[in-house]
Structure 1
């Protein structure tokens, strides 16, 4: 049944457009929104935002509702629900119809029909969860449609006052109700968490006012505004203060608009809304991923799309999860095992990127280095400068590192496996370590200490998430640790048998070492254990060796080092080809040749063949 337009003709007249300002529970300042593609409320280009559709026609609505006499309050101002064919027993929110409610019933079926159709279609994505939360809290389930008049069920909606999400929280109110809002995450855009916050807020408002019209008006205007209007006008209900100047026009329209939305949305076919293409709720499962990992990479591990991951994790303001700690990511149903199986293939790739800095008045080399947290030597070398004097206007190239995760190729992982099996070549041995987590330690810090990945530790201990590891818990780690030497033993605690064996092995190796061209010479005399100890003491006290045998040792060791065979080097975060070459007294070109590298780009965790110069 469609409400006939002639029922409104006595209360709607043409008016001159007027400017208005309004406050809300979030202290929103409401003005007509620009088109969605013109909304620019953040510097983050990755973030997807759009306008709050219900506010796009706000000026038109307020102009009509501000007609003379439109807000008169008194007996005879309401219409019979029975005559309008409305059964109030079908609603758990109080339903009544007056001139303002009638206006919105007509508006939604007329000029705003396309909007309302879109809102109904989207509503199916969120209504099951919202209604369940309202029911759990003992609130009217009809309040599910408050999200309709706030955002049109658009979790990415922003108002000009930066109110955000399904429930249009501003930052202050959202934070007050436990929503995380920072440069990485905005949980106002997360439907489940923002719904919990909205339900709690509505529950508190009803406890304060004891009336649902006043409670939802306070959701829009703020508790203090409604309380002040009631006291100043000695009023008891919403319609009394709506007939005064005690509240803004935006709040006056808020209650009748909600009532009209509830009436139609609970029985859309009756009001001509048929064949709605209702959207399905998102279905998902969750998995913990490393901090800083990009959605693009996670999508690659699961044969899904970045777009789908963004839709499931709408609270993320960038194309990656926050850094520094694991993040629980929502993923498509059926992809958890696939991602879990491939997550170990993720490798951080660190590349050097350059930012441009123009030297300003009074800036110095020290101040610029402090600003970008780099050394003076690095900055000077990057710009081929020999002087610390920086003229104003000079454009400097600032080297920084950029890290992102990529999926390691099979051959890279096979190389890692070969290296793990080849530990004997660099005097390492695979062993089981039982480590008890101390207070303040994390699984990630322990993994780094033992040169393994957090994912490996989780797998070895059959753990699903690093956050479940608590202080005092014992972890099993399989790692390659250096064979201890005498110098590594605490003073007075050395194990004599193990130390003797280590020294004897070292002495034997020195004895059989030969210099080039010495194939026909007799091997050097094997030093005794006692003489080896004396050499160590003599060196430590800077005293000359007491025998010719001892003095011969440095020559043999030096000769051995000169012909040291190639070894493996694991690329660390921040390493570049130049820094690694300098460490091993080699040239970057040599390292590229040894490893058949096509460029200078390195990936953290790569294994490189290196030789000391």
Structure 2
């Protein structure tokens, strides 16, 4: 069968549902924590957490404000705890660049099926390499013209795309291999996730197949993957890989042939069974292709071509970026109350985009807390220890921030529906945060500004049509009523306690002031405050 009869589904991101479109970002809930530049003196050193099951020797480095990976608005003084391995700029861009998925989708429509000119490798050499590959894998990697055409095409396409996929593979493959080995599944199945999703954990097809392994809603539920307003476990790399292994293992018990397992994963076991019947009982994939759905006819060649390119990457001159952080350099922490990614970013050195990459299953960038259920946040190893050592402080901050937002709402400034503003991107901004701030969708901001991806840069101007009020900054300090009084006590300041205030939250409003200062200056011992109380907040 000539390659022209193979549907465009042979490319890397043809998934269970074949054609896919990138998942649109969900809008965050409207819980905006008031930003502040002040910091408190908090330098307690976190030791290695006893729960770690691996011995690590992190290389601590001095904190540098110039590092593009450290959050510029870190709230607490935890800066002595650097990430165990800083992620270089090229690698981080590779991890977070959603354009990779778009580029691969576009390539589906432009494969030259009949192109047999300008071969990237001679047929003779290819036959030799496929024979070697066939000898060490349970898959049928024997040479045929259709498979050669797919491999030749992949070798001639954008080299950078393949190198970026290989870089992502350095992060995900150790996880995949660990789970595949657990279920006694060939380790080469790890390449299936490339064909399914281009290693994008938030990939979503036009029919709803989602995640690295492209589970449909019902199939995911069958394998224990929860989907709710906050969480889509089909996007969780660990849970989805576990579910995929269970599904693949069951398919192998049914068919007893890994080529047919691949075909079944794509089109469903029912379609493969029908193809076997129509072929007169033939169970060889290459003999069944004419009886399978068109997209499945190209699915296995795409998988085998991907396997070839990864196994012979050095021979073809691919030079993927080596990651400075791997899956095994991360660990998880069970959350004890609802917490937002923004809040974690404010108290650690972890950039929000890295949190999103490590925790793609949280659709709103919020880790929920629900009784009798368990939710975890994945962090770099050293930051895991810091989080555990300081979790009471972190949770107190998160609770204070949410209460302050819910109970202290100053008079807002309203924008008319048709008003247009120009917003300048600041350090720590990302499209989800900006969308939440103005009550609009991420997809709308991208459309208004002709953005191909969610990547933005500091200093960039965005056109936005706000759809919700934007609060002005509240004034907390009573100003002197006369010039004379001001000249007598210029350094004396007072603060009127409002509902939801605590000594800690008040101290945060005044740089250099601690809870102990406020207690001493106002002769109070506890932490109980009443709305309307007048507190001295300076040593005047």
Bucket of the pairwise TM-score, normalised by the shorter protein = 0.5 to 0.7
Deviation at residue 261 of structure 1 after TM alignment: 1.3
Q: Which residue of 2 aligns with 1:528?
A: none
Q: Which residue of 2 aligns with 1:451?
A: none
Matched, 1:59 2:109: yes
Matched, 1:135 2:185: no
Matched, 1:165 2:211: yes
Distance 1:248 1:108 in 2: 22
Q: Which residue of 2 aligns with 1:274?
A: 318
Distance 2:151 2:305 in 1: 5
Q: Which residue of 2 aligns with 1:40?
A: 24
**Pairing of 1:403-552 with structure 2 (within 5 A):** 408=505, 409=507, 413-414=515-516, 422=525
Q: Which residue of 2 aligns with 1:182?
A: 228
Which secondary structure state, in structure 2, belongs to the residue aligned with residue 93 of structure 1? coil
Is the CA contact (8 Å cut-off) linking 1:49 and 1:156 kept in structure 2?
A: no
Instruction: Give 1:259's match in structure 2, choosing from 304, 327, 347.
Output: 304
Distance 2:199 2:131 in 1: 28
Deviation at residue 415 of structure 1 after TM alignment: 8.2
Is the CA contact (8 Å cut-off) linking 2:266 and 2:299 kept in structure 1?
A: yes
Distance 1:214 1:208 in 2: 10
Distance 2:126 2:389 in 1: 64
**Pairing of 1:598-613 with structure 2 (within 5 A):** none
Instruction: Give 2:19's match in structure 1, choosing from 14, 30, 52.
Output: 30
**Does the C-alpha gap of structure 1 residues 19 and 315 become closer, same or farther in structure 2, counting only changes over 3 Å?**
closer
Deviation at residue 92 of structure 1 after TM alignment: 3.9
Deviation at residue 320 of structure 1 after TM alignment: 2.1
Which secondary structure state, in structure 1, belongs to the residue aligned with residue 334 of structure 2? strand
Q: Which residue of 1 aligns with 2:137?
A: 91
**Does the C-alpha gap of structure 1 residues 344 and 260 become closer, same or farther in structure 2, counting only changes over 3 Å?**
same
Distance 2:29 2:204 in 1: 15
Instruction: Give 2:289's match in structure 1, choosing from 222, 236, 242.
Output: 242
Matched, 1:333 2:381: yes
**Does the C-alpha gap of structure 1 residues 84 and 194 become closer, same or farther in structure 2, counting only changes over 3 Å?**
closer
The CA deviation string for residues 6-30 of structure 1, in whole angstroms up to 9 with x for no partner, is xxxx9466x9x9999xxx9986262
Q: Which residue of 2 aligns with 1:520?
A: none
Give ranges in structure 1 of 5+ residues lacking alignment. Answer: 1-9, 68-77, 357-395, 398-402, 424-566, 571-579, 581-590, 598-613
Distance 1:187 1:420 in 2: 52
Deviation at residue 184 of structure 1 after TM alignment: 1.0
Distance 1:49 1:414 in 2: 47
Deviation at residue 307 of structure 1 after TM alignment: 2.5
The CA deviation string for residues 141-176 of structure 1, in whole angstroms up to 9 with x for no partner, is 111111111122222322222322221222222222
Distance 2:332 2:501 in 1: 22
The CA deviation string for residues 166-214 of structure 1, in whole angstroms up to 9 with x for no partner, is 2122222222211222121122222121111111111111111111111
Give TM-score scaled by structure 1 length: 0.50
Which secondary structure state, in structure 2, belongs to the residue aligned with residue 286 of structure 1? strand
Is the CA contact (8 Å cut-off) linking 2:502 and 2:529 kept in structure 1?
A: no
Matched, 1:110 2:110: no
| Structure of higher CA gyration radius | 1
Q: Which residue of 2 aligns with 1:197?
A: 243
Deviation at residue 324 of structure 1 after TM alignment: 4.1
Which secondary structure state, in structure 1, belongs to the residue aligned with residue 246 of structure 2? helix
**Does the C-alpha gap of structure 1 residues 324 and 196 become closer, same or farther in structure 2, counting only changes over 3 Å?**
closer
Give ranges in structure 2 of 5+ residues lacking alignment. Answer: 31-95, 117-123, 415-467, 470-499
**Does the C-alpha gap of structure 1 residues 404 and 129 become closer, same or farther in structure 2, counting only changes over 3 Å?**
farther
Q: Which residue of 1 aligns with 2:192?
A: 146
Where has structure 1 moved over 6 Å in runs of 4 or more? 17-20, 24-27, 45-50, 403-407, 415-421
Q: Which residue of 2 aligns with 1:359?
A: none
Instruction: Give 1:228's match in structure 2, choosing from 269, 274, 278.
Output: 274
Is the CA contact (8 Å cut-off) linking 2:503 and 2:515 kept in structure 1?
A: no
Deviation at residue 227 of structure 1 after TM alignment: 1.6
**Does the C-alpha gap of structure 1 residues 48 and 256 become closer, same or farther in structure 2, counting only changes over 3 Å?**
closer
**Does the C-alpha gap of structure 1 residues 414 and 296 become closer, same or farther in structure 2, counting only changes over 3 Å?**
farther
**Does the C-alpha gap of structure 1 residues 100 and 415 become closer, same or farther in structure 2, counting only changes over 3 Å?**
farther
Q: Bigger shift: 203-212 or 148-157?
A: 148-157
Is the CA contact (8 Å cut-off) linking 1:100 and 1:253 kept in structure 2?
A: no
Q: Which residue of 1 aligns with 2:120?
A: none
Q: Which residue of 1 aligns with 2:444?
A: none
**Does the C-alpha gap of structure 1 residues 287 and 53 become closer, same or farther in structure 2, counting only changes over 3 Å?**
same
Q: Which residue of 1 aligns with 2:459?
A: none
Is the CA contact (8 Å cut-off) linking 1:205 and 1:215 kept in structure 2?
A: yes
Greater per-residue strand proportion: 1
Distance 1:117 1:266 in 2: 13
**Does the C-alpha gap of structure 1 residues 66 and 268 become closer, same or farther in structure 2, counting only changes over 3 Å?**
closer
